[in-house]
Structure 1
Amino acid sequence: MGDDLDNEWWLTEKEQTEKYADKEQEYDVSNSKGKVKGAGNKKRSYDAVAVVEETSGQVKKKKKPKKKKTEEEEVKESAGQWSDVVASLRDNFKGKIPVIEFEDLILSEENFLPHNEYLNDLSTYLTCTIRKWKKLSASDELKTKSPIVLVITSAAKRAVDLNRQANNFKGKCTSAKLFAKHMKVSEQSKFLSKNKVHFAVGTPNRVSSLIDQDALDITAVKYVILDWNFRDLKKRRMVDIPEIKKDLLNFLKDNVLPTILNGSRLKIGIY
């Protein structure tokens, strides 16, 4: 009688049944792995996927959602500071002027008013930063040709808007509009020479022209406020428009900085 090689005669019938079941389960798992890895297999069992993930040792990391900035943080980031003005001056004139003049372009935080951190309207900003306005505007020492506050902005329309915005701050005082649209230099010169102006707003080009013609005396001006943060319809600030930037930085270099270096207490505001 021939031997039955496949028959494990030393095992009981129950043990043979259990061993056969274990081998069948191992075969099913191995076969499932092959199906998961194959490109053409569309059906994948949940158990097979679990086995592959466990044996591969790869752990999928969930991306952390980016923390959204608060409105207050966004406003603070967009508000210009004194260091931005100094950086613009030095970047613009580096290599274009003598080294001695370039060294004079260094200003410190002491030369500036607090910047408009929360982008308040002009009246609110000026009220918070110029605390002695009533005393200054009522002083008998006020001279012609020299406003107490001189606001520099990019265009005539913006100058008109700012002059209106400052009404709550100004109160009843004399104002001057110093820009080119519909206004001649001679007319503005005549007005400045005959009136004690408290508050003036204008463009850098026209203001510089008036200073050059001795119609405006900046040495007695207490505050120069730069409309730094305002953006036009194209989202451009003064320093983003080449022709305005040139006039602005030349005005600061040729008029404001020498005044400060000569001992004036003039302060620059970043609005």
Structure 2
Amino acid sequence: MADFSEALGKRKRETEQAVSKKRAMKRKQKPKSSLTGDLNLDASAGVNEAIGHMDSSLLADYVAQSIRRFEPDLTSIELEDRYISERAVRDTSDWSFPRTSDTLPQYLEHFTDGPDAVTRLSNAPESCGHPHTIVVTAAGLRAADLARSLRKFQSKDATVAKLFAKHIKFKEAVDMVKKSRIGIGIGTPQRLIDLLDNGALSSKNLERIVIDASHINQKKRGIFDMKETEIPLTQLLLRKELKSRYSSVEGRISLLFF
């Protein structure tokens, strides 16, 4: 009887272990979804609708979550250094229109302070390579789409510049930036970092950084959902010359999540 009970208990443990192992395998095989949840993803429009409903506090927490997700070995002190305050983030949750490439011009106009936003956005600083607005997106193709959408702000004295790596060699990008009065620059995180490091691109006259956070690709992933874009994006946002101006009164840079 004792042998039978022992055998029964052993079989029960083996069954439980097999079930646990199977569940673990399923969890491992299941792809990670967006931090905001699949229910908020409109695949047909290519939009993560949750971003538009987040206020400044939630967006700051969203960025912090993405950093912890892709850099899990960071210490608490390192995480604190990477934290972006909610005071740095402009609350755009009152924008009720879809966040697609077609509506980006209206979005910029709505959140550009002061009279005649169209004129202000259509101008560029006198110095070459000194944009007032930078739009950061995940891929070159998306950057090209946004550049076409923002052409209404381009003139002979103000370029809407494509600042991404796909089909544009770095040297060509440097030469173009150094020779152009740029009002709005649209680029991918790493290319923007490289241009800033090179000195061709300057943040001196920068007023706003627009993060293309709502857009998702065919795999339903946004700029914060992919390690290859999230890490350089946060490195860009945390550059000393930028971060020091997020909460300043003079020379303030606003962070907007489109």
TM-score by length of 2: 0.65
Equivalent positions of 1:1-271 (< 5 A) are 77-79=50-52, 81=54, 82-91=56-65, 92=67, 96=74, 99=77, 102=80, 105-109=83-87, 111-112=89-90, 114-115=92-93, 116-120=95-99, 121-131=103-113, 132-135=117-120, 137-138=122-123, 141-168=125-152, 170-172=153-155, 173-254=158-239, 256-260=242-246, 264-271=251-258
Q: Kindly state the Cα deviation for residue 136 of structure 1 after the two structures are TM-superposed.
A: 5.6
Code of the residue aligned with 2:253 in structure 1: it is: L
- Cα distance, 1:222–1:99 mapped onto 2, change above 3 Å: same
Q: Kindly state the Cα deviation for residue 258 of structure 1 after the two structures are TM-superposed.
A: 3.3
Q: Kindly state the Cα deviation for residue 99 of structure 1 after the two structures are TM-superposed.
A: 3.0
Q: 2:121 & 2:104 partners in 1: Cα distance?
A: 18
Aligned match of 2:3: none
Q: Kindly state the Cα deviation for residue 153 of structure 1 after the two structures are TM-superposed.
A: 0.3
Residues 244-264 of structure 1: CA distance to partner in whole angstroms, max 9, x if unpaired?
111111111125323436653
What is the SS of the residue equivalent to 2:162?
Answer: strand
What is the SS of the residue equivalent to 2:182?
Answer: coil
RMSD: 3.1
Q: Where does structure 1 lack aligned partners over 5 or more consecutive residues?
A: 1-74
Q: 1:110 & 1:241 partners in 2: Cα distance?
A: 23
Equivalent pairs counted in the alignment come to 198
What is the SS of the residue equivalent to 1:269?
Answer: strand
- Cα distance, 1:259–1:211 mapped onto 2, change above 3 Å: farther
The answer to whether the 8 A contact 1:80-1:229 is kept is no
Q: 2:244 & 2:198 partners in 1: Cα distance?
A: 17
Residues 136-177 of structure 1: CA distance to partner in whole angstroms, max 9, x if unpaired?
6446x5322211111000000000101111233x15331211
Q: 2:228 & 2:134 partners in 1: Cα distance?
A: 20
The answer to whether the 8 A contact 2:122-2:154 is kept is no
Q: Give the share of equivalent positions with the same residue, in percent.
A: 23
Q: Kindly state the Cα deviation for residue 219 of structure 1 after the two structures are TM-superposed.
A: 3.1
Q: Where does structure 2 lack aligned partners over 5 or more consecutive residues?
A: 1-47
Larger Rg: 1 or 2? 1
If asked which structure has higher relative contact order (CA below 8 Å, sep 6+), I would say 2
- Cα distance, 1:208–1:103 mapped onto 2, change above 3 Å: closer
TM-score by length of 1: 0.63
The answer to whether the 8 A contact 2:89-2:256 is kept is no
Q: Kindly state the Cα deviation for residue 209 of structure 1 after the two structures are TM-superposed.
A: 0.9
Code of the residue aligned with 1:125 in structure 2: it is: Y
Hey, which bits of structure 1, 4+ residues long, moved more than 6 A?
Answer: none
- Cα distance, 1:90–1:154 mapped onto 2, change above 3 Å: same
